[in-house]
Chains A and B, each alone.
Chain A
Amino acid sequence: MNAEPDTYVTADGRTIGGVLMDLRNITLRFGGVEAIKDISFGIREGEIRAIIGPNGAGKSSMLNVISGFYIPQEGEVYFRGERRPQLKPYQVARQGIARTFQNIALFEGMSVLDNIMTGRLNHMKSGFLKQMIWKGAAEREETENREHVERVIDFLQIQAIRKTPVGRLPYGLKKRVELARALAADPSLLLLDEPMAGMNVEEKEDMSRFILDVNDEFGTTIALIEHDMGVVMDLSDSVVVMDYGRKIGDGTPDEIRNNQEVIDAYLGVSHD
């Protein structure tokens, strides 16, 4: 990994930096089941990194390791070149890692605006007393963060549903609000767990556009899990392929397309 060049420029002119998040020899077990077996890969600054693989390959578990929800039995996580100690999920979030979930995890009792504002929680620093008084510091801070959130709302084109309770939204919009909440946090690394699952073609196109725009405009590093191969090949700069908890491929979309082991895994050729 160190042998690779530090930065390069993609065909569409984006600059991809060095390794932001490096996972080294991660092994995760649930009781006797090995969900992840000795996997290593890196996520470079500014790239869109896809994790693909059949159901049960351990992709979501991998994302959960990155976001600190699962603690791997073996292996190390390096973030910004430093070894990450064992952190609670909320501490990981405070390092600038935001995510969305496979089964939408929005706060159903709150409005869209409030949901997205929760994404700003780590940027809101005014203390208990200031919030108690509200007038002055707390209100100013609320307004500043509201402005930021409004930019995200504009970006994702959800102005009209700002004040709607999340519980009333259709599935596709919920996914978008969830993305908005993650974006509001200004993450340096954004994890998307099947952002397009259950969407129709049109919604998928919209979502793909948003992902590309986020990456392009804010330079956010993105790691995503997705089943739709067409989408993955079009969006991502590099792809990790997992099967039965092992890594069976890692490279650019073109390399993956021609990787025999990956083809076998997807076409179901028996391993000898």
Chain B
Amino acid sequence: MPTNVLYLIEVLANGLMAGVMYSLVALGFVLIFKASGIFNYAQGVMALFAALTLAGIMEGQVPFAHMINAVFGTKIHHFGWHVPALAAIAMTVLVMIAFAWAVQRFVFRHLVGQEPIILFMATIGLAYFLEGVGDLMWGSDIKTLALGLPQGGSRWLEDATAGWGGDDFYGFFIDKLDIVATGVAIVLVASLIAFSQYTKHGRAMRAVADDHQAALSVGISLNFIWILVWSLAGFVALVAGIMWGAKSGVQFSLSLIALKALPVLMLGGFTSIPGAIVGGLIIGMGEKLFEYTFGPMIGGATENWFAYVLALIVLVFRPQGLFGEKIIERV
């Protein structure tokens, strides 16, 4: 097989893996949007916040230490213990549920029935707020997540494929973490679908997504469902935060994955879970492919905008995205 075809395959495979990561974030968006019509820009910051909290708890950091020190002149920083990973994850989930409750109680309960664009702008405010709180709680230095996830390229795959092309082909390079992330994403999606199809609360969630008024009239508590979806989105954010955090450290740039997920959603449609996944894969592969083929010609770093321009072009021809429901305008 010619070498450049093999490289192309490698590029596509890596794009696929990146796409899975995007899908993972996009999934959190879809969950909230379907149930409440809120387009949650803060999803990326939620991932950052969850990862920060997880790292902080594991390290035994004192929350708000920086602030307490500044006010009282003390010098506290760590409790001096380490929390095992699983326990820390459980505690982080609790924090995210508390966050979901607070968001619902103090912000979106007061914005019920507002236009989507107002809700969207509110979530931008929420993103700023949460980013500030995260920094105040845990400090803004880069943290590593020592969860023991596999790192680096897969030697096995590299060795197994090394002889395929010409002499200059050293085998496929695929990050082990990406493979794990793919596995996790598949499990997560499967369990979310199972949850929404086969459980009582899942059905209630779908009912709310379909029609608020009707759901209310059969005795579903909107408030509870909304807290539930924000919690689920918080959980998805935690998973995404762990994966991205393990890859490149827990730092501010992690919150920018939200910006990667937006075009995924525009492409896949905001209301479709399969759309989010397929959209993520298309964008992941598309941007890697574009960068590989055209990037060198026009200066590189096309990943910054390719996804958006692609989504924009698709939207002009299909305003509802590839998988969204058709928008019908009425007088």
Contacts and interface: CB of A to CB of B under 8 A. Distances in A.
Do A and B form a real pair? yes
Interface of A: 60, 64, 69, 101-102, 105
Contacts of A64: 331
A55 B131 CA distance: 54
Nearest to B328: A30
6 contacts: A60-B331, A64-B331, A69-B331, A101-B331, A102-B331, A105-B331
A174 to B, nearest CB: 16
B239 to A, nearest CB: 41
Chain B, interface residues (CB within 8 Å), range:
under 10
B328 to A, nearest CB: 9
B113 to A, nearest CB: 14
Contacts of B331: 60, 64, 69, 101-102, 105
B224 to A, nearest CB: 32
A19 B219 CA distance: 56
Interface in B19-38: none
Nearest to A63: B331
Interface in B216-263: none
Identify the 4 closest CB pairs spanning chains A and B, nearest first: A69-B331, A101-B331, A64-B331, A105-B331
Contacts of A60: 331
Nearest to A30: B328
Nearest to A60: B331
Interface in B307-331: 331
A110 to B, nearest CB: 16
A102 B331 CA distance: 8
A64 B331 CA distance: 9
A50 to B, nearest CB: 20
A69 B329 CA distance: 10
B44 to A, nearest CB: 32
Contacts of A102: 331
Contacts of A105: 331
Nearest to A103: B331
Interface in B272-331: 331
Contacts of A101: 331
A64 B330 CA distance: 10
A175 to B, nearest CB: 16
